[in-house]
Amino acid sequence: MSDLNQQKFFAQDIDSVKQTLDSSEQGLSAQEAKQRLDKYGANEIREGEQKSTLQKFIDQFKDLMIIILLIAAGLSVALEGSEGLVDAIIILAVVLINAILGVIQENKAEDAINALKEMSSPKATVIRDGEQVAIDSREIVPGDVVVLEAGDVVPADLRLFKATSLQIEEAALTGESVPVTKELDLVAEDAGIGDRTNMAFSSTNVTYGRGQGIVTGTGMDTEVGNIAEMLEGAEGKTTPLQENLDSLTKFLTYAIVAIAVFIFVIGLFNGREWVEMLLTAISIAVAALPEGLPAITTIILALGTQKMSDRNALVRKLPAVETLGGTEVICSDKTGTLTQNKMTIEKVFYNGEMHDAAEDIDFNEPVFRIMNMANDTNINSNGELAGDPTETAMIQFGFDKGFDVREVLETQPRLGEVPFDSTRKMSSTFHPTSEAFKDQAPYVSMTKGAPDVLISNCNYYYDNGEIKELTEDVREKLLDTNHSMATQALRVLAMAFKYYDEEPANYDSETLENDLVFAGLIGEIDPERPEAKEAITKAKGAGIRTVMITGDHKDTAAAIAARLGIIDEGDDSSVTTGAHLDELSDEELAEKVEHYSVYARVSPQHKVRIVEAWQSHDKVVAMTGDGVNDAPSLKQSDIGIGMGITGTEVSKGASDMVLADDNFATIVTAVEEGRKVFSNIQKAVQFLLSANLGEVMTLFFATMLDWQILEPIHILWINLVTDTFPAIALGLEDAESDVMEHDPRGRKTDLLSGGVLASIIYQGLYEGGITLFVYWYAQHIMQVEHVDAEAMAFLTLAFIQLFHAYNSKSVFKSLFATNPFGNKWLNIGVLASTVLMLITVFVPGLNNAFGTNHLVGDPNSVTMWTVVILAAASIIVYTEIIKAILRATGYAEKAQSKTKSKK
């Protein structure tokens, strides 16, 4: 970054700027420009370092769970030979699939820095050696003089020294929906980007007028370059799900190692061979480790992305599905996100009364004629409008009423005009009078402009067909009306006219803009999206805070926020500005951030600070936006939400999720889907870990009792057959009816919270206990052979897990509160697992390998099957009783933390 980047050229007079940059209005010489190009480099955005596909693939194996699985696979092969090889192959397949899916997701992401490069203007007009020349914008250097015309993309940051009715649309950079009228006056040193009216910024669009300026910054030294640098330097955030999985992995690792070591030591103490005990310890570790969890989690997330895609929420990064469900704060850009990013007439004041835009209006009302005729909007053959949004709104208003100004101008053509400039703050046109007013005079001028200025130039006012003298009392009432409209976030313009008996000799302000007749006021607004208010209310009901961040003025932002329900009417204490943020340290902002719901006149750096301040309170923060200025905060947030229609490629590239319909309400839908995804992952975790705990408890107590209850092939088959299919199917459960009535999970809630850990323990202990009971019952009560008792324990442990899959549909709710078989995929998964289990019994040869051949055709087979099925099904009765107790004692409601009085 060069020293020029630190200069505040907007606060310096133009002579000082020329001196600092060693330039003049005649521009640089070609030789000097070449030397500066060598010094400062090309006018382009620096590209960030890219990871190769191989690097991305290697990164997938840095997860602790994956490392443990690979170690387990290696030990299985080393110590168990061919039996261990099968186990290792399954583990490696799971790890490989997970890594491939991760790389595919990363490769789908567009490069935000490349998108910034694409925004640059390919050509620019500069003054070199005193002559205008067109050059490649990459060759622009500090000190160059750039010439701007309507339709140009500003090629670099400029300090303007000429501006003739110059207006530049800066929404992508500042968030303001209305083009900025450029002026040459100095501005304060602490002025935000939106208030630096004597500057033109790289990658913004000239919508009207012309101007010239000296280049103050190129490439990475522009405001857009600063954003690119922020994006380049931002560290990737770990999502709550990634943190939860990491925490769960560490917890399981410590628990598994402790149990395995304990069993190994106890076995040696009892005089058993160390190799045998080491194999037993590894078997327990493999049984306890949910090796399918990474793949199952990925599959559930992928299914969630598909569901969200069907509802217009396009997920670019898998963990974003779940992260959105844990969102506690949504920091939303105003323009284009909460509002429609187009100016619309909302109020029209004439004949002393205020009228809603929806009301009918007489086409002969002067205020109506003026807004349509004193207008520079371009209308193409298809009726599409182009021009200043303030003016296009007036023509659209006429179109909506059935009035086509093109037809009127055929009989009342524009004979002359005085264009708008920022000093007068008015513009005027001159026409023949319409037939309805021919008796007044043959000609009429029509003027529109800033209310305070235009009203001061009026001596009369129009009132229901009469022209009356404008007294001071009436003037004060008109100014009060203007103020009242402005406080409602309306952009107010005044309309006036004047009759003439003949065409004037000169069309100038002195002739056309004095001694006017006041016709009325119009109030325009970038209206809120119709569905936004309801969506914010729903978010509030789900315990989610909505915060508006915008580049607009404070009064406008506050009025829109009140209309949306983000703040109460007149609640100024919840509104602050970027200038105020500059006075606060990061620590002070963190202390006060919860007090503010609206931030106005902010810069990209402010947005990042606001997100970081919320994150300092351990809040999960979502940020929505569509402009270049939103990109750094989108990347900093836990989940960045870009706009698919109005969003720039930069904002989409920095986002985790893109709204295909730019609809704020889609966010609430996505939150519900995200909560469902997390809930379903919890269900899968509960199911897998309770099943694995059952296996561990079975092997642990069997070892302690010196029972040979399960063979390694039994454990391997159960893990392969009964875990995966039901766990994936649980990921397809519909959202529970009260999913949006709970407080957000936030960061403090992990996969084992909300009653999940307790459920794993009481359910896993029962699974292990009932399996041990069946083995004991078979040997000591039924007195069957050891191989048959072992087979019964094997089948009991397998089928109890399949029954238990239905228990896992909800942590606390009864299985029978809804249709137990409502999830067809769970039914199919359980059926598939059941068939695979029965294969080990009824397929000759295979049943010998599993020791289950006596369960077919043996005199005791019916009794053995009866014991197995009853024991396995008992998990339903047992779990229903425990759930009922938890609900009755209030533990369930407390664990789920339902929102209180938020609806």
Residue 817 token pair: 């509160």
Distance CA 494, CA 180 (A): 19
Cβ-in-10-Å burial (0-12, 13-18, 19+) of 163 comes to: buried
Distance CA 231, CA 631 (A): 7
Q: 729 and 828 in contact (C-beta within 8 Å)? A: yes
Among 394, 590, 427, 547, CA closest to 496:
427
Which amino acid is residue 320, in one-letter code? A
∠ Cα 119 121 125 (to 5°): 160
DSSP string, 781-838: IS---HHHHHHHHHHHHHHHHHHHHHHTT-SSS-GGGS-TT--HHHHHHHHHHHHHHH
DSSP string, 335-403: IIIIB-SS-EEEEEEETTEEEETTS---TT-HHHHHHHHS---EE-TT--EES-HHHHHHHHHHHHTT-
For 105, 321, 481, the CA distances from 308, given in Å and listed in that order, are 16, 8, 47
Q: What is the β-pairing status of strands 443-449 and 458-463?
A: unpaired
Active site residue 157: no
Q: What secondary structure letter does DSSP report for 567?
A: S
Residue 723 token pair: 């875990």
With tokens 């009127």, the residue in question is 408
Distance CA 444, CA 448 (A): 13
Q: 558 and 601 in contact (C-beta within 8 Å)? A: no
Length of the chain: 903
Q: What secondary structure letter does DSSP report for 199?
A: E
Residue 541 token pair: 């009901």
1: three-class secondary structure by DSSP: coil
Cα separation of the two ends of the chain? 51
The catalytic position among 333, 526, 638, 750 is 333
Distance CA 375, CA 343 (A): 15
Q: What secondary structure letter does DSSP report for 864?
A: H
User: Any idea which residues carry the catalytic annotation?
Assistant: 333
